[in-house]
């Protein structure tokens, strides 16, 4: 988010911004992200952000410009979304909303799905949606590309430079402090991912953000039997998956989570029980994956909010302070538009391309949370 914001500010002419990164680019959630870029959401604000971001991912080199070359590496795989029995009505309503928004998505028959994914078991599917233009991209590559282009435009990126404090005086941002520097500025954005709760609390801002640990595994496909398959979000089996490289399948879950107190201390490897659980769920959908081999796995942190919607807002009562966090496990696909919207909020006073009112920070105080229609966390 920080890199996308930095680039979008620079592209709009604010070229003297500085990105302070605690460690290295992508060292938080982004470097461990599954990179899935699909459109299926139950709410319009996310669907619109995902769809307009997809347009950017697909034309990344032209939109970002400069010497950035194919670093986003968008791969169109098509995406199948499988409804559970209890979700069918909501599922149909979602796809109708997607079509209203302009997203290329439709409910398809089992026969059509069997042509797209011949190896899949489709017997238990209450309904299936297909997004032919969706796929995945490389999260670290996207962050690096945004940062490189922002630098070309004049912005600075300082690695190994944690911000310790945002200095606020008479209700206004005056500077950002690091261990060795005081950077005068009238504007600061807190886009600190899993570190956000702690950082904001130190500034008296108490938001219900949690760092939660999530695991992902890569399985080596039996490529003679399954050379390729589209991406998928399987609500019935509570997994998501996509092809990775030439012969791997990435599988994640989103719902099996563990709250982490300190974002710097968590088990970085997947547990045996997770591997067994998601692998067997995958086999229910793709039986031939029983013959797959375990390749690798890892864990990363989501920054979760109670309604799985992010917070993109200015802080009331502190002129020049902005918050952009809480992406709850599905922020990568939104990141191109998050940068656009943040630049609008900061430079024009409000975001105009998409109505981000549902993402305001006061919703927690007001008790006006968004209501995701799924129990499947990453789908919201």
Closest CB to ligand FAD among residues 22, 149 = 22
Closest CB to ligand FAD among residues 187, 288 = 187
**Of 146, 107, 104, 144, which is closest to residue 4 (Cα–Cα)?**
146
Binding interface with ligand FAD (CB under 6 A):
1-2, 20-23, 27-30, 32-36, 139, 162-163, 191-195, 199, 214, 216, 252, 300-302, 325, 327, 329-333
Distance CA 162, CA 98 (A): 40
Q: Beta strand pairing status for 188-190 and 182-184?
A: unpaired
- CB 110, min distance to ligand FAD, A: 26
- CB 212, min distance to ligand FAD, A: 9
Other CB atoms within 10 A of residue 158 CB: 14
- CB 116, min distance to ligand FAD, A: 20
**Of 83, 84, 74, which is closest to residue 130 (Cα–Cα)?**
83
Closest CB to ligand FAD among residues 130, 241 = 241
* Torsion of Cα atoms, 258 then 264 then 267 then 269, to 10°: 110
- CB 224, min distance to ligand FAD, A: 28
Contact 302, 28 (CB under 8 A): no
Closest CB to ligand FAD among residues 153, 311 = 311
> What are the structure tokens assigned to 374, written together?
């799924």
Contact 167, 175 (CB under 8 A): yes
Distance CA 242, CA 131 (A): 13
**Of 309, 21, 17, 361, which is closest to residue 192 (Cα–Cα)?**
21
Helices (H) and strands (E) counted in the chain, each on its own, are: 10, 20
- CB 225, min distance to ligand FAD, A: 25
Distance CA 111, CA 106 (A): 14
Closest CB to ligand FAD among residues 88, 234 = 234
CA distances from 82 to 40, 121, 139, 217, 376 (A): 11, 11, 25, 20, 11
- CB 54, min distance to ligand FAD, A: 11
Closest CB to ligand FAD among residues 75, 126 = 75
- CB 187, min distance to ligand FAD, A: 16
- CB 120, min distance to ligand FAD, A: 20
The greatest distance separating any two alpha carbons of the chain, rounded to the nearest whole angstrom, comes to 67
- CB 36, min distance to ligand FAD, A: 3
Closest CB to ligand FAD among residues 22, 221 = 22
List residues bridging with 304 in a β-sheet: 210
Closest CB to ligand FAD among residues 221, 330 = 330
List residues bridging with 81 in a β-sheet: 129, 233
Distance CA 35, CA 57 (A): 11
- CB 22, min distance to ligand FAD, A: 3
Closest CB to ligand FAD among residues 35, 243 = 35
Handedness of CA 69, 55, 240, 214 (dihedral sign): positive
Closest CB to ligand FAD among residues 214, 360 = 214
Distance CA 58, CA 73 (A): 9
């Amino acid at each position: 988010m920080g890199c996308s914001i930095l680039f979008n500010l620079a592209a709009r002419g604010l070229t003297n911004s500085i990105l302070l990164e605690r460690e290295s680019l992508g060292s938080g959630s982004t470097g461990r992200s599954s990179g899935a870029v699909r459109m299926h959401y139950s709410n319009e604000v996310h669907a619109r952000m995902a769809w307009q971001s997809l347009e950017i991912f697909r034309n990344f080199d032209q939109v970002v410009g400069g010497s950035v070359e194919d670093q986003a590496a968008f791969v169109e795989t098509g995406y199948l979304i499988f409804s559970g029995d209890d979700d069918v009505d909501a599922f149909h309503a979602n796809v109708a909303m997607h079509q209203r928004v302009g997203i290329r998505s439709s409910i398809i028959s089992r026969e059509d799905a069997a042509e797209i994914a011949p190896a899949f078991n489709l017997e238990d599917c209450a309904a299936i949606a297909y997004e032919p233009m969706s796929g995945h991209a490389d999260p670290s590559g996207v962050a690096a590309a945004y940062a490189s282009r922002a630098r070309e435009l004049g912005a600075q990126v300082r690695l190994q430079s944690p911000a310790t404090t945002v200095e606020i005086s008479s209700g206004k941002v005056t500077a950002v402090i690091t261990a060795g520097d005081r950077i005068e500025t009238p504007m600061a954005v807190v886009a600190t991912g899993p570190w956000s709760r702690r950082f904001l609390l130190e500034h008296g801002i108490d938001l219900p953000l949690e760092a939660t640990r999530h695991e992902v595994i890569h399985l080596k496909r039996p490529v003679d039997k399954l050379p390729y398959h589209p991406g998928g979000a399987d609500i019935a089996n509570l997994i998501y998956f996509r092809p990775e490289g030439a012969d791997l399948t990435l599988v994640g879950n989103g719902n099996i989570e563990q709250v982490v107190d300190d974002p710097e201390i968590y088990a970085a490897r997947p547990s045996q029980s997770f591997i067994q659980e998601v692998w067997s769920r995958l086999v229910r959908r793709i039986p031939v994956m029983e013959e797959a081999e375990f390749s690798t796995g890892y864990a990363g942190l989501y920054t979760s909010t109670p309604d799985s919607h992010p917070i993109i807002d200015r802080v009331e009562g502190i002129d020049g302070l902005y918050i952009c966090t809480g992406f709850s496990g599905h922020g990568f696909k939104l990141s191109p538009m998050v940068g656009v919207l943040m630049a609008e909020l900061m430079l024009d006073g409000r975001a105009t391309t998409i109505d981000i009112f549902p993402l305001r920070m006061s919703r927690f105080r007001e008790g006006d949370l968004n209501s995701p229609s799924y129990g499947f966390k990453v789908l919201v």
